[in-house]
Amino acid sequence: MTAESKRTDSSLVIECFEPATRRKLGEVAVTRPEEVKQVVLKARRAQQQFRSTSFAERRELLGAILDHVLEHADELCDFIVRDAGKTRENAMLGEIWPVCEKLRHTMQSGEEALLPETVSSGMFPHKRAEIRYIPLGVIGIIAPWNYPLQNLLGPAIPALFAGNAVVIKASEAVAWSTERFQQIFDAALDKVGLPRALVQIINGYGATGAALVSSGVDKVIFTGSMANGRKVIEESAKSLTPVILELGGKDAFIVCDDANLEQAAHAAMAGVFIAAGQNCLAAERFIVFDSVYDAFVGRVKVLTEALRQGDPRGESRVDIGAMATPAQLRVVADLVDDAVRRGARVLVGGQRALVEQGDYFAPTILVDVPKDARILSEETFGPVMVILRVKDEEEAIALANGTEYGLSATVMTTDAKRAERFAERIDSGGTSVNDFGFTYMAMDLPFGGVRGSGFGRLNGREGIRACCNQKAVLFDRLPVGAPSKLYPIGPFDYDLARETIRSLYGRGAVKKASAVTQLAKTAWATIRGNT
């Protein structure tokens, strides 16, 4: 039995397998599509109580989650490793750490982002204008499998701090660990005396996700593939449920002729081999200036050949684990085969590895990849470094912008002006200069994509405010009791409106003076007409 042979949309259970060994982990019950509304209803009831909690109380909740994650970090990493096949180091650095940082950041900065904001009341000086951040209600989160813990907690943290309940549909590919992850929330909610229904993780296939979109939730945060992102939009259009889409990427990693090559080589290794490349921000296309191309290729080849691959829970230490699903393994193998068939050269790896043991793809470097190879435009999501040669900045930018995606990008350069030019001109949601992926960990920065990588933002004040109704309110500053009478429309009202607008917006002293004179005449006519 393979890890996917029993995965069908109508199954009532999900059979879970360990990608590193193909051993069965267990079975998890599916929440059937028709049950999802009931789950959302429970969440909605819980939110009624939660919405009036103070920021201090919400900080206590996040603090309790943080304590639990820290106290059980080793155990949680073990669940992640077994379910997703990644290394313990990646689980600790790539899941536990960002989750803790997001909790810390939200506890520290969340309140400031959500306090009522006074803005100009414009043409109404007697009024006070405020933007109020009101919780939306229930937020539906639909998660992929590449970061089993982080994908669930990451969007839930700001949603909760903003006063919402959440229902999280986890990925069927990593369903086994969800029972343990639910305990994180349960323990924290119990500790601070809030109902468990405030955070519910449900399991299931695409149909359960689709049911969550149409369940009446107040917003959907979908993280996943472009193809399913489209389906989510189609479904959400029926009920006009707002969505945030965090989709895939085909990120460029640009190495300029003035880059520090040792720094570039190590950032490149992180960019492509973290989580065996199953990283939304993964560097998928290495765009290297001609004059440093050979030196860069030589260095990453040495580093890649030295990588140790195998079962992350095995006897010896490994640098890279398994692919999380057999389906993803096939995607990577197909794209590499297609490129090689069309003439690409394999410098390292290029095929499946440890075939008897589990779902592994060897750390791979491809060069001389022809323009028509699918791997240049389709998301790989695997441990494959595709290195392309360019002559200058213009060619690098054109290549970087040459796919339908736009999630992130990396630029290696020691020239600050050049870095700014790249940051301005690459079409992506973020750009990191001289390091890979750090934009995600600087939590004041918004995180998300443009074009085929989706829309809406998760981190930063934009991310937390996205979990709110950003409500416009005008309060009285001065108690002006006179009614603004519009009806019945008087004989001079049209002229009065026109001259008021001309005197407010007419450009140049002459035009303004003429408008004001005209306004005075019209006002006088109005008064006379009214007497």
In the DSSP assignment, the letter for residue 442 is S
CB 381 within 8 A of CB 329: no
Using CB under 6 A, which of 146, 304, 309, 403 touches ligand NAD?
146
> Can you spell out the DSSP letters for 257-295?
TTS-HHHHHHHHHHHHHGGGG--TT-EEEEEEEHHHHHH
329 binds ligand NAD (CB under 6 A): no
Q: Respond yes or no on whether the N-terminal peptide bond of residue 488 is cis (omega within 30° of 0).
A: yes
Nearer to ligand NAD, 188 or 210 (CB): 210
Q: How far is the CB of 9 from ligand NAD (least distance, A)?
A: 9
Q: How far is the CB of 395 from ligand NAD (least distance, A)?
A: 26
Q: CA dist 292 to 255, 296, 364, 412, Å?
A: 8, 6, 20, 12
- What SS3 string covers 352-383? EECCCCCCEECCEEEECCCCCCHHHCCCCCCC
Q: Which residues of 342-368 are buried (b: 16+ CB within 10 A; e: fewer)?
A: eebebbbbbebbeeeebbbbbbbbbbe
Residue span binding ligand NAD (CB under 6 A) among the ranges 56-64, 144-152, 338-346, 383-391: 144-152
405 binds ligand NAD (CB under 6 A): no
Using CB under 6 A, which of 19, 85, 94, 144 touches ligand NAD?
144
Residue 16 is among the residues annotated as catalytic for this protein: no
Joined together, the tokens standing for residue 187 give 């323990």
Residue span binding ligand NAD (CB under 6 A) among the ranges 20-28, 141-149, 236-244, 352-360: 141-149
Joined together, the tokens standing for residue 100 give 């803790």
- In the complex, residue closest to ligand NAD by CB: 209
Nearer to ligand NAD, 286 or 293 (CB): 286
Nearer to ligand NAD, 143 or 288 (CB): 143
CB 50 within 8 A of CB 210: no
Residues 6+ apart with CB under 8 A from 142: 168, 169, 209, 212, 213, 220, 221, 222, 223, 224, 232
- Residues 32-91 interacting with ligand NAD (rule: CB under 6 A): none
State the Cα–Cα distance between residues 383 and 303, nearest whole angstrom.
Answer: 13
Residue 246 is among the residues annotated as catalytic for this protein: yes
Using CB under 6 A, which of 91, 113, 175, 232 touches ligand NAD?
232
Q: How far is the CB of 414 from ligand NAD (least distance, A)?
A: 29
Q: How far is the CB of 98 from ligand NAD (least distance, A)?
A: 12
381 binds ligand NAD (CB under 6 A): yes
Of 15, 172, 246, 379, the catalytic one is 246
145 binds ligand NAD (CB under 6 A): yes
Nearer to ligand NAD, 189 or 244 (CB): 244
From residue 456 to residue 495, the character string flagging contacts with ligand NAD as x (rule: CB under 6 A) and all else as - is: ----------------------------------------
From residue 206 to residue 225, the character string flagging contacts with ligand NAD as x (rule: CB under 6 A) and all else as - is: x--xx--x---------xxx
Joined together, the tokens standing for residue 441 give 């960990």
For 302, other C-beta atoms within 10 Å of its C-beta total 11
246 binds ligand NAD (CB under 6 A): yes
Supply angle C-alpha 326, 297, 302, rounded to 5: 75
Joined together, the tokens standing for residue 62 give 């996040």
In the DSSP assignment, the letter for residue 434 is S
Joined together, the tokens standing for residue 259 give 């880059």
Residues noted as catalytic: 246, 280
Residue ranges in contact with ligand NAD by CB under 6 A: 142-146, 169, 171-172, 205-206, 209-210, 213, 223-225, 228, 231-232, 246-249, 280, 379, 381, 407, 449
